[in-house]
Amino acid sequence: MQSNAVTQTENLTAAIQRIDANHHWHPFTDTAALNSKGARVIVRGEGVYVWDSEGNRIIDGMAGLWCVNMGYGRKELIDAAKQQLDELPYYNHFFQTTTTPAAVLAQEIASVTPGDLNHIFFANSGSEAVDTLIRMIRHYWAVEGKPEKNVLIGRKNAYHGSTIGGTSLGGMGAMHKQGGPYLPNIEHIDQPYWYGEAGDLDEEAFGLKAARALEEKILEVGPEKVAAFIGEPIQGAGGVIVPPASYWPEIQRICRKYDILLAADEVICGFGRTGSWFGSQTFGIEPDLMSMAKGLSSGYMPISAVAVGDRVANCLIEKGGEFFHGFTYSGHPVAAAVAVANIRLMKQEKVVDYVADDIGPYFQQQLRAVLADQPLTGHIEGAGLVAGIALVKDREAKQFFADEGTVGTLCRDHCFENGLIMRAVGDRMVLSPPLVISRKEVDELCAKVRKCFDLTLDSVRTQGL
């Protein structure tokens, strides 16, 4: 055991950094590299801003980790948690019992999901929701008398969480190199990344080609063996990859043709991010199942859910008997109470309309305007309040940097130093600010993005990259 006593000469930031370095192992982090410089300590949040322990105000261009959609410090959400903690901090939903927040939340979610996605199964994280999808889908086909129909098809560079199930279904090469072997009977097709991978094809043609990779894979595996296709409407952690408009309708057509379930991982796109309640609506599809998390509670409490359509739900409920699946905290009353308050607040403030008609288009337009003549900016894609920007060495020749990730990391570090949180995914910079951001705050965000891109360009030139 190391001594954690705070010495009198040490300031608070240094003390927390030291304790953190000694004991706290961070997720998705090179811990040795972090510990050598010390983690930034975030102490407070309000609206679209967070403050660190040194008093710096930082504009949060990522809404935490794609989740603080209603912004920091919302009294409605805080009060809902406090009230529920006072009344009933915990009870489970295993023992022939329910709690009011879980029942009401299931109804609230069903009130905003598209189609007949009316049956809600709760979990605590996006990864658990994805694991639930996997088990539920395979169990569904078994109950239907087709246990051999158990192959799941996902995509390369997709992110579905970091449990064994989520990692298996996801298509992140770096993740697959660690901690395997992964689940059998999972296949991956190419992602619909038009700017990076389409060659000479226009968007429409490339979208169809990328979707038809699914049909090829289904025929290769055998339709009688394929259970479902699962994808994020817009790939988030993969760098905000927005598929061409032709992609999702074609994916849906192919799934229906071969009787394959379509599951949308709405963990980022859900709850208004793209200007609809769900990304599936933005792209005009009706999936059979959806996973959701992050924006469900605006990140105030950990909670996730799977919304299931009548086909799968009625089969499993009527013919499946007991579904041996669930979590101690499935539908946790405090988390559920916060999520209920969050959805009601979103409805009351008409946040989805605000993203669709006002702040989303404004953000997309301002970002393009401010970066129009910025030499590192290869291509900007996005929808509503999410955007991905490809950093390139030469925009005319569409030439990427040789050592992918170096320039992205440089840019991320300039943002860090300049009061802006923007994430790097390789050489793509991504933004996903709180949905309640104002026009003035969008202007500030975009000005900071421009400044940090210019600083990055200076670094690129100095270092001869």
Report angle CA 131, 135, 136 to the nearest 5 degrees.
Answer: 110
Sheet holding 151-155, edge to edge: 119-123, 304-308, 289-292, 261-265, 226-231, 151-155, 186-189
Return the number of the residue (62 or 460) whose C-beta is nearest ligand PLP. Answer: 62
Token pair for residue 64? 């935490």
Which one, 190 or 443, has the nearer CB to ligand PLP? 190
Do you find a cis peptide bond into 434, omega within 30 degrees of 0? no
Q: Are 270 and 279 within 8 A, CB to CB?
A: yes
Say how far apart CA 370 and CA 307 lie, in whole Å. Answer: 39
Candidates 49, 159, 247, 354; binder of ligand PLP (CB under 6 A) is 159
Fill in the amino acid letter for 276. S
Binding mask 105-144 for ligand PLP (x = CB under 6 A): --------------------xxx--x--------------
Q: Which is nearer to ligand PLP, 61 or 378 (CB)?
A: 61
Residue 27: which of 123, 127, 124, 122 has the closest Cα?
127
Between 67 and 214, whose beta carbon lies closer to ligand PLP?
A: 67
The smaller minimum CB distance to ligand PLP, of residues 233 and 378, is found at 233
175 or 293: CB nearest ligand PLP: 293
Residue closest to 334 by CA, chosen among 301, 362, 364:
301
Of residues 119, 138, 139, 160, which one binds ligand PLP by CB under 6 A? 160
Is residue 445 a contact point for ligand PLP (CB under 6 A)?
no
Nearest to 35 by CA among 58, 55, 16: 16
263 three-state secondary structure = strand
CB of 11 to ligand PLP, least distance (A): 32
Q: Which residues face 307 on adjacent strands?
A: 120, 290
Q: For ligand PLP, what does the binding mask look like between residues 332 and 371, x meaning CB under 6 A?
A: ----------------------------------------
Structure tokens at 375: 């030499």
Q: Which residues of 132-168 are buried (b: 16+ CB within 10 A; e: fewer)?
A: bbbebbbbbbebeeeeebbbbbbbbbbbbbbbbbbbb
Could you give the CA distance from residue 76 to residue 447 in angstroms, rounded to a whole number? 31
Burial state string for 406-441 with b = 16 or more CB within 10 A and e = fewer than 16: bbbebbbebbeebbbbbbbbbbbbbbbbbbbbeeeb
- Shortest distance (Å) from residue 456 CB to ligand PLP: 25
Tokens representing 13 are 């930031």
* Smallest separation, CB 286 to ligand PLP (Å): 19
In the window 272-311, what residues touch ligand PLP (CB under 6 A)?
293
Taking the complex as a whole, how short is the minimal distance between the CB of residue 274 and ligand PLP, in angstroms? 13
The set of residues, in sequence order, having a beta carbon less than 8 Å from that of 128 and lying 6+ positions away, is 161, 163, 304, 327
388 binds ligand PLP (CB under 6 A): no
Among positions 207, 236, 244, 272, the unique one binding ligand PLP when judged by CB under 6 A: 236
Taking the least distance from each CB to ligand PLP, the nearer of 130 and 242 is: 130
Q: Is the CB of 62 or the CB of 293 nearer to ligand PLP?
A: 293
Residues in contact with ligand PLP, counted by CB under 6 A, come to a total of 14
The CB-of-294 to ligand PLP minimum distance in angstroms stands at 6
Contact residue for ligand PLP among 161, 309, 384, 388 (CB under 6 A): 161
Which of these segments, 263-271, 363-371, 390-398, 406-414, binds ligand PLP (CB under 6 A)?
Answer: 263-271
Considering only 232, 250, 381, 427, the residue that binds ligand PLP (CB under 6 A) is: 232
- Smallest gap from Cβ 325 to ligand PLP, in A, equals 16
Residue 310 · residue 288 · CB < 8 Å: no
The answer to whether 377 contacts ligand PLP (rule: CB under 6 A) is no
Q: Nearer to ligand PLP by C-beta: 101 or 302?
A: 302
Among 223, 211, 222, 207, smallest CA distance to 261 is for 223
Residue 65 CB, nearest approach to ligand PLP (Å): 7
In the bound state, the residue with its beta carbon closest to ligand PLP is 126
Binding site for ligand PLP (CB under 6 A): 125-127, 130, 159-161, 232, 236-237, 265, 267-268, 293
